[in-house]
Amino acid sequence: MNLLNYILRRILLMLVVLFGVSLMVFTIMMLLPPGMRVAVYVHNEKITPDQLETLIDRYGLEDPAPIQYCRWMGNVLQGDFGYSVTASAPVTQGFSRYFPITFELMLIAGPLTVMVGILLGTIGAVHKDKPADHFTRVFAIVGYSLPTFWLGLLLLMLVYGYFGIFPPGYLSDAGKNIIFSEGFTNYTGIILVDGILNWEWGVVLDDLYHLVLPSVSFVILASALILRLTRSSMLEALGQDYIRTALAKGADRRTINKVHARRNALIPVVTVAGLLFAQMMAGLVVTETIFNRPGIGQWIVRAALQLDVPAIMFNVLFLGVVFVTVNLIVDIIYAYIDPRIRLY
Amino acid sequence: MSDSHKTEIVPDHTTKVLTDDAGFEVAAHPRVQEFIFSAKRFLSNPLSIIGLIIILGFALVAIFAPVLAPPENPENPYRIPHAGWAVEPQAPSEENILGTMEQQYDVYYGLIWGTRSAFRIGFFVVLANLAMGLVLGSVAGYFGGLIDEVIMRITDMFYSIPFLVMAMALVVAIGRGLNSIIITLIVIQWTTYVRVLRGEILTVRENDYVQAARASGASHLRIITTHILPNSIYSVLIVASMNIGVTVLAAATLSFLGLGAEIGYADWGQMANTARNWIVGPPGNRLAYWHVVMIPGAAISLFVLGWNLLGDAARDVFDPKMRRK
């Protein structure tokens, strides 16, 4: 099968899975009583019980499920997800307000996580059973045993509470005054980028200052997965014949580790990118809640606590779509790197 | 190196020598030999021993909870006793040896009875998932075809939504509380077991002994239970042992976010949730509320660490590919 056929087949499969995801979101929604589902259609908080009856009637919330599904899907495809109480705005507006804050954290913490994971994994494999390797293993065990929220609380208690540096939140009051002032243009909504474009370096530094603790806690926990995978895959690569050949030819150890072993070892690491993404989303929910960053993760938590149905459903759907797409891209990249995959 | 050579290097000391009545040497049953071999491998790794000690310690605490922290109301022992409603947590004292949380709930009592909650969550979820995985995985892997396709596409759908977000949506739909969390985790985590078992069965299914059983007219049920499962079940048992820690961690996270038990229920995640308001102490004593933050989180971490170490050990011991290395 050539690559194009493979990609087309995967995209078709993805559509099936996406349909399934939408069915699942819909099923979860149908578990709720009609009175709560009204919020998907109506944006008024002061509804009397009488009005509720008529609304349920008008939007057919007691109709057979397939009819309701089609109606809901029709709205979703037109970009109408209802009104979010927690964002005090339509869901799509809330999303565009919160997403940049989340994106910023991912922008900083995501690449750092990958780099730390690969670096420590390589060190562990190269120095197998030496002190450096033991350190990386302990680091990995801590990474997948510590609850994200606990590490976050500890960092806050010690670093912010005791030493008084790196506060929670996303900007200081002075910084907020600047970004909400007239002269500050919102190009992207991402404060880091907007700060640079507006030439407000104070805001940029302020923003980075608030990103330190969330990023640190995020990297410690999320890099464990990549670390373990890199280490085991690197160990396997180091045992291959071509490494021995390279050694016999007299290539120096560092070149062998970097060029011959690591390049090959990283191929399987690509496959966990999807898994890593899911883990990051979970990490973001907790990290944003603890460090009080008003992003998507914190929004989901507030929506869950206040039973803001439209916001939750939108986010589940959105993250599902992103996740499926990420996995598709990963599979295509993998098929490109390793032609054997295309056979399946 | 041929495979037959590999099987010959089973260490001799694992073959326990028994004698029968007449004094002749009789080798122990192969299963007993294998078990002794597994146990020796397990005990030769210091990390698995640490894991075992941690979990046994927690198990003892859970079993003797009524002795360690006698409940005021035996009908409802998970309710943490509290003296008064004062908001500010109190530092450890003679009365409350680990201090009190918000609203004066006793930290020590919550810690002890929270152990039971943790075991309950971990076991319930993993056992239910194991059962689902065995049934659906066997069916999908053994019969293949359309039924396999349907089951696997359903697992794909569950896989395609980030786990925590999906869990939150479900908890919202069925209502908050510890039982909801247990149900939610059961609904979400079964897919891993099905996938792993199915994959394993696909490799076992075409073996000669299965063909032979089929040719001799054995029923599907018999083939699955006596020929296929015994040779493929290890893979899911490993997943199960590694998943207990993951499950408890996920449940604690949901509780921490406020979707779990109500305040005053002995559950570590819920205790950590109340700690959020008490991260920074009053001026002059910034770490005044350390016990509220440290103790529940440390308990969760240690519990999860113990299971993770045991899970790793189980993989090394039971995985046929790792076993004889």
Cβ(A21)–Cβ(A317) under 8 Å?
Answer: yes
Average pLDDT over every residue of B157-164: 80
Q: What is the ipTM for the molecules in this complex?
A: 0.84
Buried/exposed code over A281-312 (b: 16+ C-beta within 10 A; e: otherwise) = bbbbbbbbbbbebbbbbbbbbbbbeebbbbbb
Closest C-alpha among B249, B246, B207, B233 to residue B131: B233
Assess whether pLDDT exceeds 50 at residue B1: no
Contact list, B301 vs chain A (CB under 8 Å): 145-147, 150
**What is the pLDDT, as a whole number, of residue B3?**
43
Residue-level pLDDT at B82:
77
Span B59-69, pLDDT tens digits: 999 998 888 87
Tokens representing A224?
């464990």
Distance from CA of B159 to the nearest CA of A (A): 9
pLDDT of amino acid B70? 81
**What chain B residue is nearest to A162 in terms of C-alpha separation?**
B286
Q: What's the pLDDT score for residue B24?
A: 64
B164 neighbourhood in chain A, CB within 8 Å: 281-282, 285-286
| pLDDT tens-digit readout, B13-59 | 545 556 666 666 666 777 788 778 878 877 877 888 898 999 999 99
Neighbours of B15 (CB within 10 A): 14
Please count the residue pairs, one from chain A and one from chain B, whose beta carbons lie less than 8 angstroms apart: 141
**Residue length of chain A:** 344
Mutate to test the interface with B, among A22, A157, A213 (most CBs of B within 10 A): A157
pLDDT in the model for residue A71? 85
Digit-coded pLDDT (tens) for B229-285: 888 888 888 888 888 888 999 999 999 998 888 888 888 988 888 888 887 777 777
Which residue of chain B comes nearest to A148, CA vs CA? B253
Average confidence (pLDDT) over A303-314: 88
DSSP string, A125-155: HHTTTSHHHHHHHHHHHHHHHS-HHHHHHHH
Query: Could you report the per-residue pLDDT of A76-85, keeping only the tens digit for each?
Result: 888 888 888 8
Distance, CA of A282 to chain centre: 7
Confidence bin at B4 (pLDDT 50/70/90): very low
Contact A157 B280 (CB under 8 A): yes
Gap from A261 CA to chain B (nearest CA, Å): 23
Q: How far apart are CA A84 and CA A296, in angstroms?
A: 13
Half-sphere exposure of B27 (CA within 13 A, CB side): 9
Q: How far does B166 lie from chain A, in Å, by closest CA?
A: 7
Please judge whether A150 and B279 are an interchain contact, meaning their C-beta atoms are less than 8 angstroms apart. Answer: no
Looking at per-residue pLDDT, the higher value among A338 and B306 belongs to B306
A307 and B166 within 8 Å at the Cβ level: the answer is no
Cβ contact (<8 Å) for B281 and A289? no
Nearest CB partner across the interface for A149, out of B156, B173, B272: B272
Q: Name the residue of chain A whose CA is nearest to B251's CA.
A: A147
What is the model's pLDDT at position A337? 75
Best of A150, A309, A331 to mutate (most B CBs within 10 Å, chain B): A150
Instruction: Return the pLDDT at A338.
Output: 72
Name B215's Cβ contacts closer than 8 Å, sequence gap at least 6.
none
